[in-house]
């Protein structure tokens, strides 16, 4: 890094809203001679200079065209790749009224350390709204945080009046969306959906069995997480009536009765209604099929979570898979086929893991999820889009907020990852990080590694 003498041109001062008397330069940073993967399309632009002023991307152009901004910190990024930071769209930040602050900040840091600069927390509590604001102001280091409200479920929303009271309260408290859990009865759902529309609070998460995927989509669910309901939506009519009459059906019965024509029907319905899907493949495969928990506990990222958390996972997994390896493979394969069909048709896919469930270490799990999503046949570009530009589209279309991130363009939030190699060629290059920028704050690899070591040390002491 080096520093240039500072001469901010008047035009920039005007753009920044400074007065002509304002001689205090605003903090600037330049990535020089970098390969830019803007995520506006699949192209990689080589030899670019990207100028960041405070927390925004200010200018991008060829290395020769852009004059160095005086006073800026310059990173010579020759041969490196700059892309937007990733998003985790099914995160869990610790629940409860006031969980230990260090636990919350450790999780936020794990996201940043893994290049995740946006999260959607899928089970809110009251402390999380001010926390999201602290992050936005830069008082706390963390990814931009969209906060789902405490969930509507069989218990919290047993009747229409309770559901209505909750969604109205959640809207006025400032939550960004309403989380749904299983068990909401259909009449309560319909009432919730109409009130949510009236007060402009979108909802997403699980699809209650009583509601079913088709009805959930038609009444406005904005994200279907875990591919909930999609397998049930593509099985034969016989199996559907068996499910509807309450007779149990096992996994084998489900996967062996797929009606291929129904895949296209549900894909089209999803597309027409601008539904987004958060597949959480890695979580689902862990929930159904871990034969050897000890192998998971050997994963390098396990040192960043507490011994107590590891023990919870070990016990959850100890029961082992309920189904035969063949049936499980067919089931996982079906989920991937549905995902690929959704993606091919243009349905918005969003990256997410449900960390910290079942061996999902926040941040690290997202990279394990990408490997599995890759097995569906989605291209690397499509997968990267699910963690960047598609997320911004979801935020503006459904949360009604400014989706000024997820691409590299002037005016976008400076949430970036600098990589040593091209992630389009191999998604594992996403871990070849030179550094992460979050809201214009640059964290070089050394600083990230120090933070991770400190966290590993803390947990090695039994904290």
Closest distance to Zn ion from the beta carbon of 151 (Å): 9
Residue reference for tokens 């985790």: 88
Residues pairing with 413 in the sheet: 56
In 111-198, which ranges are E strands? Answer: 116-121, 144-152, 177-180
Question: At closest approach, how far in Å is the CB of 92 from Zn ion?
Answer: 6
Q: Are 71 and 5 in contact (CB under 8 A)?
A: yes
Interatomic CA distance for residues 385 and 395, integer angstroms = 14
Rounded to whole angstroms, the Cα distance separating 157 from 170 reads 13
Identity of the residue, 122 or 167, whose beta carbon is nearer to Zn ion in the bound complex:
122
Using CB atoms, what's the residue nearest to Zn ion? Answer: 354
- To Zn ion, the closest distance from the beta carbon of 462 in angstroms equals 27
Cβ–Cβ under 8 Å, residues 221 and 203: yes
Q: Which residue's CB is nearer to Zn ion, number 106 or number 225?
A: 225
- Residues 99-158 contacting Zn ion, CB under 5 A: 122
Site string for Zn ion, 10-49 (x = CB under 5 A): ----------------------------------------
Closest among 367, 295, 361 to 92, alpha carbons compared? 361
Closest separation between CB of residue 364 and Zn ion, Å?
Answer: 17
Site string for Zn ion, 292-331 (x = CB under 5 A): ----------------------------------------
Q: Which is nearer to Zn ion, 88 or 354 (CB)?
A: 354
Q: Least distance from C-beta 358 to Zn ion, angstroms?
A: 11
Q: Find the radius of gyration of the CA atoms of the chain.
A: 23
Q: Minimum CB separation from Zn ion for residue 185, in Å?
A: 21
Question: Is the CB of 164 or the CB of 354 nearer to Zn ion?
Answer: 354
Q: How many residues bind Zn ion (CB under 5 A)?
A: 2
Residue with smaller CB distance to Zn ion, 184 or 419: 184
Q: How far is CA 206 from CA 34, 220, 305, in A?
A: 41, 13, 27
Q: How far is the CB of 206 from Zn ion (least distance, A)?
A: 9
Report the site for Zn ion in 176-215 (rule: CB under 5 A): none
Q: How far is the CB of 281 from Zn ion (least distance, A)?
A: 14
Residue closer to Zn ion (CB basis): 330 or 354: 354
Any contact of residue 285 with Zn ion (CB under 5 A)?
no
Distance of CA 445 to the CA centre of its chain: 22
Q: Between 32 and 181, name the residue whose CB sits nearer to Zn ion.
A: 181
d(CA 435, CA 75): 11
343 CB-near residues (< 8 Å, 6+ apart): 349, 376, 378, 382
Helix (H, G, I), strand (E, B), or coil: what is residue 107? helix
Element (H, E) at 416: strand 416-419
Cβ-based nearer residue to Zn ion, 87 or 452: 87
Closest separation between CB of residue 410 and Zn ion, Å? 35
Nearer Cβ to Zn ion (122/424): 122
Task: Return the residues of window 329-388 that contact Zn ion according to CB under 5 A.
Answer: 354
Q: Minimum distance from CB of 205 to Zn ion (Å)?
A: 7
Cα of first residue to Cα of last residue in the chain, in angstroms, is 37
Q: Which DSSP letter does residue 431 get?
A: G
DSSP 252-313: HHHHTTB-HHHHHHHHHHHHHTT-EEE--HHHHHHHHH-S-HHHHHTSGGGGGS-HHHHHHH
Closest to Zn ion by CB, 160 or 287: 287
Q: Coil, strand, or helix at residue 72? A: coil
Give the residues lining the site for Zn ion (CB under 5 A): 122, 354
């Amino acid at each position: 890094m080096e520093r240039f003498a500072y001469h901010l041109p008047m035009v920039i001062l005007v753009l920044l809203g400074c007065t002509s008397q304002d001689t205090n330069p605003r903090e600037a940073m330049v990535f020089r001679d970098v390969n830019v993967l803007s995520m506006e399309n699949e192209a990689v632009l080589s030899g670019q200079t990207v100028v960041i002023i405070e927390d925004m991307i200010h200018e991008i152009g060829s290395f020769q065209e852009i004059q160095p901004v005086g006073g800026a910190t310059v990173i010579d990024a020759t041969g490196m790749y700059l892309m937007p930071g990733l998003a985790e769209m099914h995160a869990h930040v610790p629940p409860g009224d006031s969980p230990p602050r260090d636990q919350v900040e450790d999780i936020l840091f794990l996201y940043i350390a893994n290049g995740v600069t946006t999260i959607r927390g899928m089970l809110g509590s009251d402390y999380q709204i001010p926390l999201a604001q602290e992050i936005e102001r830069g008082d706390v280091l963390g990814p931009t945080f969209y906060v789902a409200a405490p969930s509507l479920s069989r218990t919290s929303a047993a009747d229409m009046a309770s559901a209505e009271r909750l969604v109205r309260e959640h809207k006025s408290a400032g939550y960004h969306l309403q989380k749904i859990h299983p068990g909401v009865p259909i009449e309560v759902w319909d009432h919730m959906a109409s009130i949510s529309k009236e007060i402009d609070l979108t909802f997403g998460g699980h699809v209650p069995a009583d509601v079913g995927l088709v009805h959930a989509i038609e009444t406005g669910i904005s994200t279907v997480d875990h591919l909930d309901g999609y397998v049930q939506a593509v099985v034969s009519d016989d199996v559907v009536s068996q499910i509807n009459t309450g007779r149990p059906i096992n996994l084998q019965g489900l996967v062996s009765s797929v009606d291929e024509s129904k895949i296209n029907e549900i894909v089209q319905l999803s597309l027409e209604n601008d539904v987004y899907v958060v597949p959480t493949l890695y979580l689902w495969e862990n929930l159904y099929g871990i034969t050897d928990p000890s192998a998971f506990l050997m994963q390098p990222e396990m040192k960043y979570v507490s011994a107590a958390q590891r023990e919870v996972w070990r016990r959850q997994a100890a029961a082992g898979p309920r189904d035969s390896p063949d049936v499980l493979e067919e089931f996982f394969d079906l989920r991937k086929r549905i995902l690929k069909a959704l993606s091919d048709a243009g349905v918005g896919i969003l990256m997410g893991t449900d960390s910290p469930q079942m061996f999902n270490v926040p941040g690290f799990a997202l990279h394990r999820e990408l490997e599995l999503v890759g097995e569906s046949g989605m291209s690397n570009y499509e997968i990267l889009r699910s963690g960047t530009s598609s997320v911004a589209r979801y935020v503006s279309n459904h949360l009604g907020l400014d989706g000024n991130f997820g691409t590299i363009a002037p005016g976008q939030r400076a949430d970036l990852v600098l990589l040593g190699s091209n992630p389009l060629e191999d998604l594992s290059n996403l871990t070849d990080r030179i550094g992460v920028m979050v809201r214009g704050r640059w964290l070089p690899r050394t600083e990230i590694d120090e933070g991770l070591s400190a966290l590993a040390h803390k947990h090695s002491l039994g904290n």
